[in-house]
């Protein structure tokens, strides 16, 4: 019998290696089309992660190593494959002089048939004299040798400069980075400029963000780590703020896609952070993100720690791990980040077959069916082993991982785990191919009762052979 103790021993969830299927031997329903791995962390001890969009059938990952001494790249045909992929060192810092200090936050970009890595480096005698440099490779596979150091990316000021990224939009290529500007009492601000080539700027820098809000100035006054996503008629830029401990978090800038991106007035800063520490999921200091895609799904890539308390300088704590999770979108076209998810297997949203634009979510711990759920984590669940042994499953809340979907009289709720037979019976289901669509799922709670949608509520139902009732008891997995 699977108990709470055995669940905790395996991280509270099924591993993402087929255990879900083995726990539900009768289920043949399809999994979500977008196979976004959430067996986090994806790669341990790789901070500031950057994963390329799929390129010639491959994903490539780079990031900061704990030693801050080299640039590494790994590649795989799937995101999951990056976990065990062999890592290659493409460049190592010199033993002395310029660039012999800390090596931070490399990004890998394919531009005009060549690969470029933009990275930050300090000097041997002044490791925090950080500037941005660029490597170039003509090879199709960036893991191969042949990388050439092309020098420093020159900006308007010879000051602390880091976290450069680049993107193309409306026939122009832009450079976006963090820098300390003389005369401004901050650690770093965000700047944008048009590029003349992958190696040089064409225009003067434009400051588009300065850390001024309370959540941006915790420990240090920081705006850094910009990442770009162009969707739904807008250009979104995420960035990271504050010290690199549990206070580290992500903010959001937005511009209209038709606006002049080199005009600071085109950019609007969201007043609150969009991605923050979450004690319930044991994820601390999420930030320095990038974006990639799986099929049509956008994927958020970021680092975070599994613990809050750090001994010494958090910059030298090695356990900022690379993590990925699906990015969702609100009805108004803005991104919905949810919460940094805890360790575990695949995350799903359930959409009733009779109302495909709606999803199952919890509100005040009660299950209901809603549209446009802006708090996306309220609608995210994990299938985990049920409490009644092999052949049963439980539905674990993602943002309240100590709570499971449970039938309580005429209500369906998410309730804290109780180590009792009564709780086990009420929180265990048999997952089968959908009663009305075998590519979807149905969840049997008793001999002939199923979870079902009923005008915005999630209820128990006996659909028998009623066609409409069987549709209401069938859910697609998003």
Q: List residues with catalytic annotation.
A: 48, 224
CB 116 within 8 A of CB 134: yes
Do 211 and 221 touch, CB atoms closer than 8 A?
Answer: yes
d(C-alpha 225, C-alpha 253), whole Å? 12
What CA–CA distance (Å, rounded) separates 252 from 271? 9
Cβ-count burial 366-392 (b if 16+ within 10 Å, e if not): ebbbeeebeebbbbbbbbbbbbbeeeb
Structure tokens at 390: 């092999």
d(CA 49, CA 180): 22
Neighbours of 83 (CB within 10 A): 18
Place of tokens 């905790």: 8
List residues bridging with 58 in a β-sheet. 55
């Amino acid at each position: 019998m699977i108990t709470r103790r055995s669940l905790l021993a395996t991280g509270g969830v099924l591993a993402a290696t087929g255990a879900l299927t083995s726990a539900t031997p009768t289920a043949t329903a399809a999994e979500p089309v977008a196979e976004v791995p959430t067996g986090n962390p994806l790669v341990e001890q790789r901070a500031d992660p950057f994963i390329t969009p799929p390129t010639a059938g491959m994903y490539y990952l780079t990031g900061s190593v704990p030693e801050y001494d080299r640039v590494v790249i790994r590649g795989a045909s799937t995101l999951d494959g990056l976990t065990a992929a062999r890592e290659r060192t493409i460049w190592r810092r010199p033993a002395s002089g310029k660039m012999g200090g800390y090596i931070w936050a490399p990004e890998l970009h394919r531009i005009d048939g060549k690969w470029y890595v933009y990275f930050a480096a300090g000097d041997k005698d002044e490791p925090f004299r950080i500037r941005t440099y660029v490597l170039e490779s003509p090879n199709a596979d960036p893991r191969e040798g042949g990388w050439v150091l092309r020098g420093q990316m020159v900006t308007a000021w010879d000051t602390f400069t880091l976290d450069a990224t680049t993107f193309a939009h409306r026939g122009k290529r832009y450079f976006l980075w963090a820098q300390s500007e003389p005369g401004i009492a901050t650690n770093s601000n965000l700047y944008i400029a048009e590029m003349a080539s992958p190696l040089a700027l064409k225009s003067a820098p434009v400051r588009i963000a300065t850390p001024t809000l309370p959540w941006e100035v915790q420990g240090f006054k920081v705006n850094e780590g910009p990442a770009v996503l162009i969707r739904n008629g807008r250009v979104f830029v995420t960035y990271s703020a504050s010290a690199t401990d549990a206070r580290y978090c992500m903010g959001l800038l937005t511009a209209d896609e038709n606006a002049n991106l080199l005009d600071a007035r085109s950019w609007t800063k969201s007043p609150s952070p969009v991605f923050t520490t979450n004690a319930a999921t044991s994820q601390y200091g999420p930030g320095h993100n990038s974006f990639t895609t799986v099929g049509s799904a956008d994927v958020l890539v970021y680092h975070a720690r599994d613990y809050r308390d750090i001994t010494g300088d958090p910059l030298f704590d090695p356990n900022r791990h690379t993590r990925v999770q699906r990015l969702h979108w609100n009805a108004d076209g803005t991104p919905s980040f949810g919460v940094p998810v805890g360790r575990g297997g695949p995350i799903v949203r359930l959409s009733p077959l009779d109302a495909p634009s709606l999803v199952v979510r919890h509100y005040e711990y009660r299950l209901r069916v809603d549209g446009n759920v802006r708090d996306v984590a309220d609608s995210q669940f994990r299938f985990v082993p049920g409490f009644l042994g092999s052949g049963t499953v439980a539905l674990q809340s993602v943002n309240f991982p100590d709570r499971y979907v449970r039938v309580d009289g005429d209500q369906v709720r998410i309730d804290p785990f109780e180590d009792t037979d009564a709780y086990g019976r009420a929180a265990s289901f048999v997952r089968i191919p959908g009663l009305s669509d075998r590519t979807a799922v149905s969840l049997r709670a008793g001999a002939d009762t199923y979870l079902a949608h009923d005008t915005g509520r999630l209820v128990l139902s006996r659909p028998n052979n009623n066609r409409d009732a069987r549709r209401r008891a069938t859910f697609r997995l998003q």
